[in-house]
Amino acid sequence: MSTELDPTTQSKKQVGEAAAARVQSGSIVGLGTGSTTAFAIQALGDRLKRGDLKDIKGVSTSFQAIVLAKEYGIPLTTLDEVDRIDLAIDGADEVDPQKNLIKGGGAAHTQEKIVDAFADQFIVVVDGGKLVDKLGTTFLLPVEVIPMAMSPVMKAIAALGGKPQLRMGVKKAGPVITDQGNFVIDVKFDAGIDNPAELEKTLNNIPGVLENGLFVGVASLVLVGEVIDGKPSVREF
């Protein structure tokens, strides 16, 4: 990554480094997905290289996390081989004041939710633009669906007041395919999401839905990168 970073990117880097600094030697670490989390993975690799962090293993949430972990020398393991995850670091597309999240911009939210919810501590790393008063107001809600169930799931979501659309690929013909081989339906709620906990359960009870991007009551700590007076800074809540 470039050493000449603009203030916004520098704030993301600082947030990633702040999260990585909380990892202790001997830990099992959930490795999330996204641009800010990528800085955290890089920082973990740097700590290992310096020798001030030892004997950690990463559990990835996506192919992106696997590639980055290998690039920066972080040993990987799987949920089949561990009985705990001490700490998970992951990003988000929206964060509300109660630390509820919308995730899934990278179509990896199913694996992310498994890893993040399993962790003893889940640290969210975001830039200030991801903070919202109400979920669903700036970002569409991703829902992963088995391909054969796409049409009935979209009808069921519409009946709930959502406006579903199939996520299409960029620079490829056809829809986005998740790491599990499924489709992603992005859902707009015109007035936002009033009850994230209820909607999360309702969506997951629709036959054919694998998982949705609402993360309710999962985050332990949110680290926010901001640019104040032209200078990057990090705050937490």
Residues acting as catalytic residues: 112
Q: Residue 215: what residue type?
A: F
DSSP secondary-structure letter at 85? Answer: E
| Contact criterion met (CB below 8 Å) for 138 and 157 | no
Name 46's Cβ contacts closer than 8 Å, sequence gap at least 6.
72
**Which residues, listed in sequence order, are joined to residue 188 by a DSSP beta bridge?**
163
Structure tokens at 60: 């990835």
Q: Helical H runs in the chain?
A: 7-20, 35-50, 63-71, 109-118, 150-159, 196-204
Q: Residue 179: what residue type?
A: D
Query: Cα dist. 163→130, 194, 203 in Å?
Result: 22, 15, 13
Q: How far is CA 101 from the centre of its chain?
A: 9
